[in-house]
Amino acid sequence: MAVGIFDSGLGGLTVLNAVTGRLPDTALVYFGDNAHAPYGVRDADDIYQLTTRGVQCLFDEGCDLVILACNTASAAALRRMQESWVPKDKRVLGVFVPLIEALTERKWGDNSPPRPVAVETVALFATPATVSSRAFQRELAFRAIGVDVEAQPCAGVVDAIEMGDMILADALVRSHVEALLRRMPKPQAAILGCTHYPLVEEVFRDALGPDVAVYSQPDLVAEALADYLARHPDKRGGGSGSKFLTTGNPKSVSNKATQFLRRRIEFQKAEMP
């Protein structure tokens, strides 16, 4: 038994890396649906079908707890999965809430009414599917009032990263930041709302300038997971180490993952149900 980490491709490795650092004794199984990435240009039903098939693979690997380390799946599929698909003895958690808790300086379980918070202008960078779902704004509205969110659908960035074309990814990030800053010239905070974006975080920071507080998910999600496992130790599972599964080509996915994480990662071929 292990904790499962799901993404459409390589982005969730940024979360896996942070979780490995924060919880080194927790066994992890990573599932990247590289054959079907990017998810961010698909419709909600398609994302739901692919996500449930991938998460089923992780259940079959013995994971009782799966983290959707994918904002697109968290935005477009998680609620439907929790309402009608996840078996009673399993849990599937998304990656939005830790980010919003950090932004609004709220603690888990604080169910008090929404209130004004320090941050009033927020730039959201995410995939087209995440932006059009408005899931981020919905979750934020449960906790905070008076926050102006300007969202930029960052078409092409995930494809470029999946292809390993970091020059293209760099250029696309800069043009998306520029487009957003034309509409909101001085955001106080920026949300990197896609788990692929920490791989180009320095480009976002550089393009946004030093006055914008950048919120990136991996450490926040790892901390929230540590907190969750302290409250639900039965979901941690036994064993140690990590296993990596991909629906793509294991050799090329392993090479790109090794390049991103700067340590050798070996993927095995996963068969989706």
CB of 232 to ligand DGL, least distance (A): 24
Q: Is residue 130 at the binding interface for ligand DGL, with CB under 6 A as the rule?
A: yes
**Of 40 and 237, which has the nearer Cβ to ligand DGL?**
40
Q: How many helices (H) and strands (E) does the chain have?
A: 12, 12
Selected binder of ligand DGL within 196, 235, 236, 256 (CB under 6 A): 196
| Window 16 to 75, contacts with ligand DGL (CB under 6 A) | 37-40, 70-72
Catalytic residue (choose from 57, 63, 154, 194): 194
Least gap, CB of 130 to ligand DGL (angstroms): 6
Helix (H, G, I), strand (E, B) or coil at 145: strand
Cβ neighbours around 84 below 10 Å, total: 7
158 binds ligand DGL (CB under 6 A): yes
3-state DSSP call for residue 46? helix
**71 contacts 194 by C-beta, under 8 angstroms:** yes
The residue with tokens 């490795």 is 13
Tell me the CA end-to-end span of the chain in Å, nearest whole number.
20
Per CB under 6 A, which region of 17-25, 98-106, 194-202, 262-270 contacts ligand DGL? 194-202
Phi, psi of 18 (to 5 degrees): -65, -40
Q: Which is nearer to ligand DGL, 35 or 86 (CB)?
A: 35
Give CA–CA dist 271/53, Å, rounded: 10
Task: Count residues near ligand DGL (CB under 6 A).
Answer: 17
Specify the 3-state DSSP secondary structure of 204: helix
Residue 218, classed as helix, strand or coil, is: helix
70 flagged as catalytic:
yes
CB of 169 to ligand DGL, least distance (A): 13
Please report, as a single letter, which amino acid is at residue 154: C
In the set 7, 64, 101, 219, which binds ligand DGL (CB under 6 A)?
A: 7
Is 194 a known active-site residue? yes
Binding site for ligand DGL (CB under 6 A): 7-9, 11, 37-40, 70-72, 127, 130, 158, 194-196
Instruction: List residues with catalytic annotation.
Output: 70, 194
